[in-house]
Amino acid sequence: MARDTPLLVSALALAINAQHELAARKRQSAGGDKVHPGKVNPILEVEGLTLSFGGIKALSDVGFEVAPGSITTVIGPNGAGKTSLFNTISGFYKPSTGRIRFEGEDITATRPPARAKLGLARSFQNIALFRGMTVLDNIKLGRHTHLRTNVLDALFYFGRARREEMELRQEVEERIIDFLEIDHIRHMPVSVLSYGLQKRVEMARALAMRPKILMLDEPVAGMNREETEDMARFILDVRDEWGVTVLMVEHDMGMVMDLSDHVVVLNFGKLIADGTPAEVQANPEVIKAYLGSGDVSELRERLHQTVAVGG
């Protein structure tokens, strides 16, 4: 941990600097106003969520709100419970206490397929594309719940099935494939695509669900600078053009601090901060979580010394 602290300090520093770069762009596209949670009815509410695995508490009394049309990010050190939180909201884990409300409705007991139908879409940390299918087929699967072809229609194909398929194809091509710039790979099997392209296809598939809220689990993990900027651009466009609320887990501080309207910080399964990026950055609890306890200025001293010596 001690060896990581200089890196994390510089990461935060870089984040503060990078903020100025992309902030201008963001102000351009989003109109510059930060969305204040609480003024409008939240689209997603998590309340008093506790999740235990045997004796280990993955989440302890976590509660926050996601405003509609916002980009909210969940951050926290590794093992803080971010993916567990996502899995609980998706419906794979049952919380021992707490409620989850989507557009005012309590969905704590709803099963995952039903949550998808309500408008909750999600991507996974490890790419969860269907390797036996092409890009196009993967994307079309996103629309599954909204289609109405049944078995008999499917077996005969000509008639309702074909009509639905053609409509689907047209919409997918015009709205999604063009939007995410993946038209050149539409017929390729997903297993041969590069990591960055696969992530984009996953997002395309999530978009095909016509979601109201898009949950992205580490959307830029493993990407280089250029790919990260592309993805950031897509996320902003998704929010602006499609009106989709974005809830994401991310480690790339530059992207987080700059893109988000609202940041939620988890540590050891507990919520330790909740507010705008600026508020969260200044929060001493957050700094302690990332850098460990100890005087920050003293650590800075030590950092300068090590750097001077030639570390």
Binding site for other proteins (CB under 8 A): 83, 87, 90, 92, 111-114, 116-117, 121-122, 124, 128-133, 137, 140-145, 147, 149-151, 153-157, 161-162, 164-166, 169-170, 173, 187, 205, 209
For the bound state, the minimum distance from the C-beta of residue 280 to other proteins, rounded and expressed in Å, comes to 27
Q: How far apart are CA 19 and CA 305, in angstroms?
A: 27
For the bound state, the minimum distance from the C-beta of residue 117 to other proteins, rounded and expressed in Å, comes to 5
Q: Considering the complex, state which of residue 248 and residue 289 has its C-beta at the smaller distance from other proteins.
A: 248
For the bound state, the minimum distance from the C-beta of residue 195 to other proteins, rounded and expressed in Å, comes to 17
213, amino acid identity: I
Q: Considering the complex, state which of residue 236 and residue 249 has its C-beta at the smaller distance from other proteins.
A: 249
User: What is the dihedral sign for C-alpha 31, 34, 40, 41?
Assistant: positive
Closest listed residue to residue 273, CA positions, set 10, 75, 79: 75
Which residues lie closer than 8 Å to 78 by C-beta, 6 or more apart?
none
Q: How far apart are CA 198 and CA 203, in angstroms?
A: 9
For the bound state, the minimum distance from the C-beta of residue 170 to other proteins, rounded and expressed in Å, comes to 6
CB atoms within 10 A of CB 120: 24
Q: Considering the complex, state which of residue 156 and residue 195 has its C-beta at the smaller distance from other proteins.
A: 156
CA distances from 64 to 13, 45, 96, 290 (A): 27, 6, 17, 21
Q: How far apart are CA 217 and CA 86, in angstroms?
A: 8
For the bound state, the minimum distance from the C-beta of residue 297 to other proteins, rounded and expressed in Å, comes to 41
Pairing relationship of beta strands 44-53 and 56-66 according to DSSP bridges = antiparallel
For the bound state, the minimum distance from the C-beta of residue 211 to other proteins, rounded and expressed in Å, comes to 10
Q: Considering the complex, state which of residue 147 and residue 303 has its C-beta at the smaller distance from other proteins.
A: 147
Q: Considering the complex, state which of residue 136 and residue 264 has its C-beta at the smaller distance from other proteins.
A: 136
Q: How far apart are CA 129 and CA 80, in angstroms?
A: 26
Q: Considering the complex, state which of residue 112 and residue 294 has its C-beta at the smaller distance from other proteins.
A: 112
71, amino acid identity: I
Closest listed residue to residue 182, CA positions, set 199, 167, 165, 200: 200
**Counting every residue, how long is the chain?**
311
For the bound state, the minimum distance from the C-beta of residue 290 to other proteins, rounded and expressed in Å, comes to 26
Q: Considering the complex, state which of residue 103 and residue 153 has its C-beta at the smaller distance from other proteins.
A: 153
Q: Considering the complex, state which of residue 218 and residue 258 has its C-beta at the smaller distance from other proteins.
A: 218
Q: How far apart are CA 78 and CA 98, in angstroms?
A: 23
What is the full DSSP assignment across 171-192? HIIIIIIHHHT-GGGTTSBGGG
Q: How far apart are CA 127 and CA 114, in angstroms?
A: 22
For the bound state, the minimum distance from the C-beta of residue 144 to other proteins, rounded and expressed in Å, comes to 5
